[in-house]
Structure 1
């Protein structure tokens, strides 16, 4: 029996749940920093600092202080600010390349095998704060088998806004309870549940590196609690 009876679509948080953003950003940051002879800057620390600007940038949109702005633009603004903090200047082409590091992230080892199994019985799509081109490029490079590429740009809302979840279900032509969010973040799952979606927690204990202090366990009675996508496939009978 499935742990998510009645669920027709699985939608996935992407950064941290499907892909390892920290290692991928650090990889390209290492190349960029070496070119600029900045071996005083730790590439992993650079990735963390860039990511730290992520929520404040989206909050300006969520609060209504600025109109909906896709994540590629927010990432670029955050990158420009981060480089200014370090006194680094670069040309447009080089900055465009580094900003697209978010398009070139690698999946966790269990992600693709698990998604292929889950796809046999469920419709799969990202429910991410990423924009469509970012998520499509990521999927094309990594072989992520989405049935559709959705995300904040489609919903015109950033998680954890309720509309990010309900509009995704509406786009799919489903009731919220026929959709389950799969995420490694308890806060994301809490917002999804409040919006009527079912929930599945997958542990990603190294998303933020070896000293990670958050989301090391499920904080609630999510419908499924697993350690990998393949374990989720087992729980859903796939």
Structure 2
């Protein structure tokens, strides 16, 4: 890992993934899925359902990113994925129910320590989001997470989902900041690998206590939560 003093001297902007890093996606969607599944008479564990949903969404996003065609909106990938999971699980559903489950993503709230930690970081650095979410979804989410980011950027502008290299470089241009002066922060290994490969510095928020694979693109920092990140960098 990179020396903290060196990192602090170089970084001028902290850029965050939103879903699962700033906001609690697993917990928030689990709370939505639990009553839905109960009403359907399903015995599927809500946490397992959400994990299946998120993994299917990620897989479908990666397929879309490799098709070399116009970018499919995050919301549409979400509808496709939730529908796919419920079809496989044998859960009867309507399109309104599919849309309602995906719309819950817009109302996710922060992990408990995030507001205070980001407030500390904001005293020293600019703060931005780079998310796979659609622009209107990210705009709607602002009143629920309440973080005053200097910019909220959607990958829609790069015509691809993360971890495509173009997404990180587009965000760096938008912020008028050289990639090596950006610390990209994510709870997802794929996002840290993608950002580091694009020339950004990275911090892996290891909330789930999982070893980082032996990629050549290792994070500059590994922290257990945002509080630790703020203590090190602010």
Structure 2 stretches lacking a partner, 5+ long: none
Alignment map for 1:33-182 (pairs within 5 Å): 33-38=37-42, 40-64=43-67, 66-182=69-185
Return the alpha-carbon distance in structure 2 between the equivalents of residues 224 and 214 of structure 1.
13
Return the alpha-carbon distance in structure 2 between the equivalents of residues 141 and 216 of structure 1.
33
Once the two structures are overlaid, the 10-residue window that deviates more, 151-160 or 217-226, is 217-226
CA contact (8 A) 1:15 1:21 kept: yes
Return the alpha-carbon distance in structure 1 between the equivalents of residues 218 and 164 of structure 2.
21
CA contact (8 A) 1:199 1:223 kept: yes
Return the alpha-carbon distance in structure 1 between the equivalents of residues 215 and 58 of structure 2.
22
Residues 216, 24 of structure 1: alpha-carbon distance in 2 compared, 3 angstrom cutoff: farther
Equivalenced residues, count: 230
Alignment map for 1:185-196 (pairs within 5 Å): 185-196=188-199
Q: CA RMSD in A?
A: 2.5
Instruction: Say which SS state the counterpart of residue 183 (structure 2) adopts.
Output: strand
- The structure carrying a bigger helix percent of its residues is 2
What TM-score, normalized to structure 2? 0.87
Instruction: Say which SS state the counterpart of residue 185 (structure 2) adopts.
Output: strand
Return the alpha-carbon distance in structure 2 between the equivalents of residues 10 and 123 of structure 1.
6
Instruction: Say which SS state the counterpart of residue 78 (structure 2) adopts.
Output: helix
Instruction: Say which SS state the counterpart of residue 125 (structure 1) adopts.
Output: strand
Instruction: Say which SS state the counterpart of residue 51 (structure 2) adopts.
Output: helix
What TM-score, normalized to structure 1? 0.85
CA contact (8 A) 1:20 1:107 kept: yes
